[in-house]
Amino acid sequence: MSIQAKAQTDIPTERTVNPLWYKFHKNPLTIFGLCILLFFLLVSVLAPLITSYDPTKINITERFSPPSAKHWFGTDEVGRDIFTRIIYGARLSLGVGVAVVLSAGLIGSVVGAISGYFGGKIDQVIMRLMDIILAFPSLVLAMALAATLGPNLQNAMIAIAIVKIPVYVRLARAETLALREKLYVKAALTFGIPPWRIIARHIIPNAISPVVIQVTLDIGDAVLLVATLGFLGLGAQPPTPEWGAMISIGWKYLIDYWWYPTFPGFALFLASCGFNLIGDGIRDILDPKVNR
C-alpha cells in the first residue's frame, strides 16, 4: 500500500469517529423529537422561574380570561393560569409516563428472563398469565384496574404498569431462549454459578437491547394513557395540574373559551410526538435488522 493510500485510510470519518451519533443525527425527525423533549424538560425544571403564578390558586375575578400578556394561555373556570398549570403538569405527565414504563420494563425483563431460562412449568404459568393480560385491549384493562383500585394517580400508574409488563416479558423471554444456548452461559453453569447470578450477569445484560427500544417507544403511549385515565376521572384528581384532567374539564367550554382545552391538548400532542420520534431514532441505532 502506498504512503498516500495509507494516509487516506488513516483519516477518520464522521461515521468512524462516532457511529452512534452519526446514525442518530442523520435523521432530522429524531433531532426534532429530542428538541421537543429537551424543551419540556427545561420548562418543567425551571417552572418556578418561568412563572410566578400558583398552579392551584383560585382567583375568581380573572376566570376565563383570554390569552394576553398577563396570562399567556388564558385562565380556567376558577381563574388559574393555564400556562402555569401546563408547565407544572409537564412534570407530572412526563414523569409518570417515564416512571411507569421503566418500572414495567424492569419487572418484565426479570420475569421474562426467569421464564425463558428455567422453562417448564414456571414458563407455562408465567406465559399463560401474560396471555390473559394481553387478551384485553390495553386501554380497557387499564380503565378496569384503575376503577377497581380507586381513582387516583398512584393507582393509575399501577394499572398502566400492569398493562405494559407482558410486552417486556415476551421480549426478554425470547432473547433468553436464544442466550441460554450460548457457550458462555453453559460454561458458567458448568462452573457451578447459581442460576440467579447467570440471569443477572449474563442473560439480562445481553437481552436488554430490544427492551430499551420498546421502552423508548412505549413512553409516549404511557403518557397518553395517563392523560386518558385523567380525562376519564380515573387518574390525577383536581386540583392537580395534569393534562388529561385539564382537557376533561376544558372541552365543555371549547366553543366559548377555546384556549382552555386547546393548549393542554397541544402540549400532550407535542410530548407524545417527541417520545415517538426519539423511540424511532433509538430503534434505528440499536435494532440489528435496521442496521444491516
Non-local CB neighbours of 259 within 8 Å, separated by 6+ positions: 66, 67, 73, 74, 82
pTM of the model: 0.81
Domain boundaries, the chain: 77-286
> 178: which 3 cell numbers?
436464544
pLDDT at 8: 47
Look at residues 47, 105, 53, 106 and name the one whose alpha carbon lies nearest to residue 82.
53
Compute the mean pLDDT over every residue in the chain, rounded to the nearest whole number.
85
Tens-digit pLDDT profile for residues 177-191: 888 888 888 888 788
Cβ neighbours around 98 below 10 Å, total: 15
Q: If you search the block for the grid coordinates 378496569, which residue do you land on?
A: 144
What pairs with residue 69 in β-bridges? none
Contact 86, 245 (CB under 8 A): no
What sign has the CA pseudo-torsion 249, 255, 258, 262?
positive
Instruction: Report how far residue 56's alpha carbon sits from residue 54's, in angstroms, rounded to the nearest whole number.
Output: 6
Instruction: Report how far residue 281's alpha carbon sits from residue 265's, in angstroms, rounded to the nearest whole number.
Output: 25
Check residues 12 and 250 and name the one with the higher pLDDT: 250
Non-local CB neighbours of 269 within 8 Å, separated by 6+ positions: none
With bands split at pLDDT 50, 70 and 90, how would you rate the model's confidence at 204? confident
CA distances to 35, 43, 92 from 38, in Å: 5, 9, 16
pLDDT at 119: 84
Whether the per-residue pLDDT at 228 is higher than 60: the answer is yes
Annotation: CATH topology of 77-286: MetI-like fold (1.10.3720)
Tens-digit pLDDT profile for residues 13-43: 444 445 555 566 677 888 888 899 899 989 8
Instruction: Report how far residue 267's alpha carbon sits from residue 270's, in angstroms, rounded to the nearest whole number.
Output: 5
Cβ neighbours around 46 below 10 Å, total: 11
DSSP code string of 76-114: -TT--BHHHHHHHHHHHHHHHHHHHHHHHHHHHHHHHHH
Instruction: Report how far residue 240's alpha carbon sits from residue 246's, in angstroms, rounded to the nearest whole number.
Output: 9
How would you class 10 by CB atoms within 10 Å of its CB: exposed for 0-12, middle for 13-18, buried for 19 or more? exposed
